Amino acid sequence: MSRLVRIYVARAARLPMQERTSVEVETGKGIVGDRYHGTGFRQVTVQSAAALAHAASEYGAPVPVGLTRRNLTIDEGEVPTAPGRLIRVGPVLLEVVCIRQPCQRLDDAIGPGVKEVLRGRAGSLCRVLEGGTVQVGDPVDLDAAGA
């Protein structure tokens, strides 16, 4: 089973991501204190450290987790991208809305070409079906069943 290894939030779109050890996730709203909390379907983003490692290998340099601007990073496994798939992170149940494509700003923040190596590896955008507190180390079920 996968584990949650990193949590990041940002108060606003262009502010740096801040690492946390735990966050409160509200049903239908997202992560308390994050830029997208309560703004609609953009609630929580999930990515895989294993996918980032593959991208870094292709890129030839590290791809820092905190610069990818994703909220939750799991240690291994492939994050589902098909809409409607369910992911459980600790007590929180997420529903995949869509695959997230990397942003052009990644080339500015990390280096030219990062956006391209992250294509298809940038994780998923999810909405929160069941809230709760998530912590680094929580188990992650990438093929969760509904409540």
pLDDT tens string 32-60: 999 999 988 889 999 999 999 999 998 99
User: Does residue 124 carry a pLDDT above 70?
Assistant: yes
The alpha-helical segments, DSSP class H, found in the chain are 49-59, 105-109, 114-118
Residue 105 — very low, low, confident or very high, per pLDDT cuts 50/70/90?
confident
Structural domain boundaries of the chain? 2-141
CA distance 122 to 48: 8
Per residue in 4-22, pLDDT (tens digit) is: 999 999 998 888 899 999 9
3-state DSSP: the chain helix, strand, coil percent, rounded to 5?
Answer: 15, 35, 50
Q: What is the pTM of this model?
A: 0.93
Total length of the chain: 147
State the CATH class of domain 2-141. mainly beta
Alpha carbon separation from 6 to 21, 58, 68, 90, 128 (Å, rounded): 7, 22, 12, 13, 18
Give how far Cα 146 sits from Cα of 4, 34, 60, Å: 20, 25, 40
Average pLDDT value over all residues in the chain:
92
